[in-house]
Structure 1
Amino acid sequence: FTVNKMNCPACVITVKEVTGKLPGVVESDVSLAAQDVIVKFREKQTNPDQIKDAIAKAGYPVKLDGLFKPDGAGINEQVIAGVNGKPVFEKDLKVPLLVDKTGTPTKDAASSFFNTIGKEILLQAADSKTIVVQPYEVEAEIQAIMASKGIASEQFVNQVVEQFGSKEKYFQVVGQRLGIRKLIDEHVVAGIQDPQEKARKTMDWLGTVFKDSDVKSLDPKFKEKIHASSGQDDWKTFWPRMISSSTELKSLLVQ
């Protein structure tokens, strides 16, 4: 589930508690940085709508992203990869990392895969540092984007729904970007003023984080597509090839 407005460790406890009270819920894994929750449940005892309602009643805007089986296979949605055990759906590749529409969204398979997997790795790193993005920070960022575009609120919402599928998903991605920037600014390049040194430090750190991540490709057909696009299909050899390319993820990381 995409869950908006989680802004503190107490929110994690709240979401875990409200979902945990439902019959059949086995476990809830909440990510502050990613603004999402994975709920493991027994399908004969509860269902996604009941889980969604419980989270919404606790005060958090929520949207179902997808379902998957215990073995990692998607239900109605294809799971293409696992990142340190967390599933990545094929439709996740279609969610832009750009939030201000100043650039052209990535369309080729290799860049989309790099952006999506890389983002998930960084969000997990942000969770390990308890990075928190407040709702007002997300709102301020969105207001700044709207002001730069000079468009009315209703028109802006229509644009983001068309591009991201829902307002909740857009808010999630804005928050994710802010969280990743906080992670880098506070834990990677803190105290460094020189832009070139910041970029070098960021790329060195990024290489270590990417190298140490367990990324498994789970869909043979998509794996073939990645290989055809980049000549690589294994994360360990794929990311070093992509990291020097111009991608949405790199533009977020090196500023």
Structure 2
Amino acid sequence: MSDPLDRVVQWYPGHMVKAMRGIGERLALVDLAIEVVDARVALSGANPDLARVLAEKPRMLLLSRADLANPAITQEWLERYRARGIRALAFNARSRRDCSFVRDEIVRFAESVRGTTRAMIVGIPNSGKSTALNALLGRAAARVQNRAGITRSLQWFRLAPDVELMDTPGILVPKIPNADAQWHLALCGGVPVERYDPEEIVERFTAWAAQLALDGVPSLEAFARKGGFARKGGEFDFHNAARSYISRFNDGTFGRISLERPPEERA
């Protein structure tokens, strides 16, 4: 029997197909691929199709929103990627130190390339790509909103005299593989809220948090009661409460929470 989320948390609109084709067509122009992955969903938030397309290019991986993720689990992901020879960095776009360090890493790579270095920033929707780009540039160059599907075209920006960055639309896999990946991505903003029932997503999250006995994670009912989502007659507006709950999760109200940790390596 299929999971009810399969009917709603699938999203692969036409602009993603066009963007994937555009990335492939422009690979010859690119010297470095910078993949941005939300540190809280470092498994579901990485698109293996992008990794295959960019396999022949030098690669840097930024675990974005590191300030919202469990730092110990982020470190586990960094060690896993580095063991595979991938330059992986935890990244908080609000940290000047992180921005300066990543910018220096890109410029340092550029010194090994003759002429202008071109880097392509890729990732799934709302992974923090455009936010990272703006932070590295030090200005609001790319459109940013806390929802999926804002960047729709390929755009070039100059980071340094001899370094250009290309922002690309977020691209999901054509089919999100399982129910856990679906609610993880929905909770972290990887698919538009119109594509799923927010109450269902919050219920799955709170059930998961209860199993792990996470502190500071309220039930949806407790959140609705405290947040003033009561209607006349004593009932609660759980739909809007759930939407607010998801927003609060994404601003760190419930603490630094990672939904995924590295799977065990097969022997």
TM class, shorter-chain normalised?
Answer: under 0.3
Please, what TM-score do these two structures have when normalized by structure 2?
Answer: 0.25
Please, what TM-score do these two structures have when normalized by structure 1?
Answer: 0.26
Q: Which structure dedicates a bigger proportion of its chain to helix?
A: 1
Greater Cα radius of gyration, structure 1 or 2: 2
